[in-house]
Structure 1
């Protein structure tokens, strides 16, 4: 007769700590000898909750959320002190890490959003709210695809479509967090919009805005709440000039103060992004001190425009031969209209 439960050993080596998710868990690059594979192990302290079995909730949610754009779980196990969740190791890291290296092109922003939002739609269809969507929790596969990860705050909705996470991170809170105790999938829609916003303006600008609510090492919660309700945070006018209007409009709708005024389903976000002008997709933006620069490959050459203190230099750099000025865009005090015309030539 088969036993009800079988207990077996799993052996892995924790090689390098690569992250910390709250006070009670750490993330390690690890190696599983039996699988001959590098993995990521999330180690959760059992002392962090009264019911240690509840720490397996994230593993259960990941297992139930199998989807091409959701990070899968390999296995879950425990010892006397910790719960261990094993997931694939993605050497390219997270979307946040890529954003630390450079600004994303509009094409990348749209591609990555459509991918992880597809995974998010899948978990919404199973009655779950993620509650923790941010660039750190979007991992990049070896194929360069954006996969949604970290279901540590995810919760099942009740019969009214409502749920509440055990905790929230203030940078990502939508306005309703200051007036309600339970939330709908509109919470995730807001966080998708905030992630899109961060992809457009960069983490440095986003963090600069957030830190303006910290005075003398004290976070001004009341002022921050008012800024969310009035839609003053994040700053809807801080976009680099190449960001298309349709992308900005999509973000604005995601970030509406009232949940009822946001997209009703996350797939509506991908539909809204589908018709952005092709000529605006591939500009690579750089910011070096006061200088802004945009470059793009075009018919075997590189076109670029650099602006410093309002004065612009525009050039065409062929793969062979001499670079030439694009004289009509070498302008003192160049205006936004001229710059946007340059993006479309």
Structure 2
């Protein structure tokens, strides 16, 4: 449908594969976000009319998909020149989780909180026979209450045939079956959700060292060989590897099943982690002592690490482990064991 509105479009605040996002104001809803889909120079009149009608129909579907953790869609407007469609949505002042991903590893408790929100929203879309197909940190927004909402609906579809939709989107979040020519499904959304959790747990610096998933995930064994920061508990790793299993039958079969799995995961101690090009450092507070761990690159595949604690009041500094000049696998194994002991 085409609506008449006094929508005022402001500055660009983001962009995605399918369009740019601007802030705006609307007589009814106040401050809003506006995603603008424009006609491309190569589209014929017939192609644009077809895409425009699809966007308008999608907007109607999304306006019915109401959930506290799905970004609210207020409506769609066609430009006066008929060469653009404006998707009008709630404005989220907290921005997107891409900013937090770029800042570094997030606390386990924050990741679990935000992913719980998003997974409940995703389950609501799935319950309405919609597949999102573009789950990533940049498409998760924080509203004025600090709750996470699933947004950027450029790829949401309800055109599902036997549970599958066409394979677009994701970029590095494409699961093996899609990379190998299959269709997207509820279970490919679960795979992308697992990749999103992994990224938020590790931050941009660590993630940048990995081979691009789009180049290797289709070859098999991707999740099995993902390198984890050593403070990530074993149970978290098991859940993520299940979410991203190559075999769709071995994955969690729904968003709700994934949610049930990680709702039980431990989030303590609250390790604050900083990843730099040549060093990873951690700190946390446990029982009136602050713990510190440093892991440094000292040569070609050679690493030093050290760990100690200091009292918050009176007392002595205590060393509780160190290694010098060990290879990556040894350092990773020793540090993983160390973190498992600190409770």
What TM-score, normalized to structure 1? Answer: 0.83
Counterpart Cα distance in 2 of 1:261 and 1:184: 14
Which residues of structure 2 form unaligned runs of 5+?
297-302, 325-330
* Match 1:230 to one of 178, 202, 220: 220
Contact 2:231 2:340 in 1 (8 A): no
2:154 is aligned to 152
Distance 1:87 1:292, change over 3 A: same
Deviation at 1:187, TM superposition (A): 1.2
1:31-86 deviation digits (Å, cap 9, x = unpaired):
33x24722111011145634122122442232121001101012221112211111
2:184 aligns to what SS in structure 1? coil
Distance 1:102 1:337, change over 3 A: closer
Contact 2:279 2:295 in 1 (8 A): yes
2:250 is aligned to 261
Which residues of structure 1 form unaligned runs of 5+?
214-220
Deviation at 1:159, TM superposition (A): 5.6
Contact 1:186 1:259 in 2 (8 A): yes
Counterpart Cα distance in 1 of 2:336 and 2:170: 39
2:320 is aligned to 328
Counterpart Cα distance in 2 of 1:179 and 1:59: 30
2:74 is aligned to 74
* Match 1:99 to one of 78, 98, 101: 101
- Runs of 4+ in structure 1 deviating by more than 4 angstroms, as ranges, are 321-324
Deviation at 1:302, TM superposition (A): 3.8
Counterpart Cα distance in 1 of 2:111 and 2:187: 21
2:241 is aligned to 252
2:328 is aligned to none
Counterpart Cα distance in 1 of 2:236 and 2:123: 20
Counterpart Cα distance in 2 of 1:140 and 1:323: 42
Distance 1:324 1:53, change over 3 A: farther
Deviation at 1:181, TM superposition (A): 4.4
The aligned runs of 1:1-345 (5 Å cut-off) are 9-22=4-17, 25-32=19-26, 34-35=27-28, 37-47=30-40, 49-51=48-50, 52-79=52-79, 80=81, 81-158=83-160, 160-165=162-167, 167-211=168-212, 224=215, 227-232=217-222, 236-280=225-269, 282-299=270-287, 302-308=290-296, 309-316=303-310, 318=312, 321=313, 324-329=316-321, 331-333=322-324, 335-336=334-335, 339-341=338-340, 343-344=342-343
Distance 1:200 1:249, change over 3 A: same
- How many residues are paired up? 320
1:300-333 deviation digits (Å, cap 9, x = unpaired):
6643333334231423252xx568422234x344
1:67 aligns to what SS in structure 2? coil
CA RMSD of aligned residues (A): 2.6
Counterpart Cα distance in 1 of 2:35 and 2:265: 38
Counterpart Cα distance in 1 of 2:218 and 2:181: 14
Contact 2:164 2:185 in 1 (8 A): yes
Deviation at 1:123, TM superposition (A): 0.8
What TM-score, normalized to structure 2? Answer: 0.83
2:300 is aligned to none
Distance 1:323 1:135, change over 3 A: farther
